A and B are shown apart, each in its own frame.
Chain A
Amino acid sequence: MIPIQYSLRNLIRRRANTLATAFGIALVVFVSSAAGMLAAGIRHTLMASGEQDSAIVLRKGSDGELSSVLEEELAAQVLSAPGIASSPNGRPLGTDELLVVAGMKRIADGNIATVSIRGITDTSFALRSGLSFIEGRAPRPNTSEIVIGKQMRGRFQGLEVGQSFELTRNRPVQVVGVFACNGSSYESEVWADANLTRNAFGRAGLSSSIRVRLKSANAFDEFRTALVKDRRFAMEVYRERTFFEKQSEGTATFIVAIGTLISIFFSIAAMLGAMITMNASIARRRREMGTLRALGFSRTSILFAIILESCLLAVAGGIVGAAVSTALGFVKVSMMNYASFSEMVFEFRPSAQTILSAVFTALLMGLFGGLLPALRAARIPAASALRD
């Protein structure tokens, strides 16, 4: 076999070409792994909101909490259905909530952006197992105290502990706490008392959804059947996780689709770049190849040496690109979530899988880019090449 140093030295020898090609591959890997990380971030944020042993009830025909209207009395009927876990005081663990959106002034640019406001009861906190206060405390029920998700803090006017603002005209509220919740979309919401929210937004007697904690993940079918059977209600029952998966579909699919498409096109361009570089390098080394053949190296080992050279080139670029892309982990993206029509903060989520698959893509680019030139190199006959 031809030693690996041979391939490595060749790359170092033609520094300028190697760098240009590797840099191209690094850019490709950077873009494709960034898209992968953002899609993973969106999925994480939207899916972390859903728990396997919780269920959410919406009005039939609605495509999300925002377009679902339920009468307040329905909550009591839903909570009497079978399959619901009990709270420590023996009551069924569930509550109705109201979701509305309101325009608030963004501090960064002074523009008005839409923010989700959730009308909650004290059971709401018990239903989110990962929720914890990172500053301040929980609001007292039936007061104008509100709490905010940690991603909202400092982004909009008035959203900071100790500050107060008007939810709607003449409805002042005070921020008493900031909560974190596993990086879920709740962290981009403002939580206020349900009745206060109803009155402020002219929704007296109405809710958007009812959430319950099930006895176990298996109790879902029992719970759902009982509600769907009752034709008076016209309600849709989802496992919470399924519901959020459905919500994240649109945005994440868009990012993944456009990310994949771009990655494919980018890869083709970069692969051609690798092919050109390798091909030129072979053309210049005809005599050298002839010598290797004359020394007794087989065609196969030459083939492998050239492919190895090309793969080393690509993987070096790939590792640089992937490494730089992980720096995006510190970047937060604030964007419109079309499912909830409000501004939500997403993070790039680096994972071993995205990075490995990015480096693997680079490897493929090197492999295919090097294949043709390698075949060409292997076919060079010893005798004639030496005479060149």
Chain B
Amino acid sequence: MSLSKLAVRGLLRNRFRNIATMIAVSVAVLTFVLLRTVITSWTTAADYAPKDRLVTHHKVTFVMPLPLRYVELVRQSDGIRLATYASYFGGQDPKHDRETFVSWAVAENYLEIFDEFSVSAQQKQEFLADKTGAMVGDVLANKLGWKVGERITLESGIFPSAPDSPWTFTVRAIYTASSSSVDRSTFLLHWSYLNDALPQARQNQVGWIATRTTDPKRSGQIAAALDQKFASDEVQTQTQDEKSFQASVLAASSTVLRAIATISLIILLIMSLVLGNTIGMSVAERLREFGVLRALGFESRYLVTLIIAESSLMALVGGLLGLALSYPLIERGIGVAIEQNMGTLLPHFKISPQIAAMALIGVIVIGGLVAILPAYQATSLRVSEALRKVS
């Protein structure tokens, strides 16, 4: 009888216990995958940020704007290929006042620098052609029931509209994303529409400037040169490549991320307790049988392998079951709710192949590790003693 066949037989022996154990393993895998997906989804923006894109904002605080004339100065600087700008609009739809979403007033060439928005050429054209046009993410559009051509009125606490002329927009384009770091719940409007409607004192200001450099390797130098350029001007700037910028945003949440990572390891620990307990019991019940096998001439090494294989096999079956549960539950259920309600933070809630592989390899390794002690117990007993054991 081959080793694998014996291991399978071992699993069929105490069916109630083994099935319960495998369910426990599958629940652990499901939880592990869920928590790890939260982490990857949260950190994904930093991973995808292109190295050649720089963001320049006010040195002290992002709530203070930069003068519009800086854009031209930045564009003419050494190493800069393209420059665009945007202001945080802070719009809210009074018809859906419990839904918050991010809205940016963007320059005409915004989509050239942020090329990860995917939108049909025709819709893009229509958005650019209409001064009061808006381009919204598909997740947001679905959630609020907006269609192309729909008229929308927004209120903004940052840019209060005059009572007789509220901020009205026509949805001209609905975008999806070509990169998983894009928040598909954003509302884009034209900066020029905003600017022209503002009182003179607040005109010609931008929230931040984004640029693409000619050489990603020199990004650090180019950024430093930009800040140097404005060092003695009216407003000082802080320029970072997008990766470092995202990393600094993430650093603010590092405690939460660390906590989630720790919890995901605790569930594996709980799983190893359950699995180890089961294997321990199953070996303890079969000491006599192992004695018989050894009396028949099977080497200890063979028995150790058998016990470890049995344990890993149980872990593997539980792990596969857990993954089979994870995909529909996380991607169809929880993930959709998260993308809709927390899209800014967790824009792309999908299980990555790495996580799935990590979970599966993890449980198999744990399955093997927890079997070591019982396996040692099974083989350390003298054959004569083992045979005397009453089951």
List the interface of chain A (C-beta within 8 A of B). 16-17, 20-21, 23-24, 27-28, 30-31, 58-63, 66-69, 100-103, 109, 111-114, 168-169, 201-202, 231-232, 234, 254, 258, 261-262, 265-266, 268-270, 272-273, 275-277, 279-280, 333-336, 338, 343
Contacts and interface: CB of A to CB of B under 8 A. Distances in A.
A234 B60 contact: no
Contacts of B280: 16-17, 20
A276 B30 contact: no
A63 B273 contact: no
A34 to B, nearest CB: 8
B163 A266 contact: no
A113 B277 contact: no
A265 B273 contact: no
Nearest to A268: B27
B61 A103 contact: yes
14 contacts: A16-B280, A21-B273, A61-B90, A61-B157, A62-B90, A62-B158, A100-B61, A169-B60, A201-B61, A262-B263, A273-B277, A276-B17, A279-B20, A334-B255
Interface string B50-71: 0000000001111110000000
B160 A113 contact: no
Nearest to B156: A61
Give the interface size class of chain B.
35 or more
A24 B270 contact: yes
Interface in B265-320: 266-267, 269-271, 273-274, 276-278, 280-281
- Interface secondary structure of B, over-half rule: helix
Contacts of B16: 279
Contacts of A68: 157-158
A320 B154 CA distance: 53
B35 interface: yes
Interface stretch (B135-143, B189-197, B245-253): B245-253
B277 A28 contact: no
A343 B252 contact: yes
B207 interface: no
B160 A234 contact: yes
A378 B24 CA distance: 25
A340 B94 CA distance: 21
Given A112-B248, A280-B281, A273 B163 contact: no
Contacts of A24: 270, 273-274
Contacts of B20: 272, 275-276, 279
B179 interface: no
B28 interface: yes
Contacts of B343: none
Contact of A101 (B61, B274, B278): B61
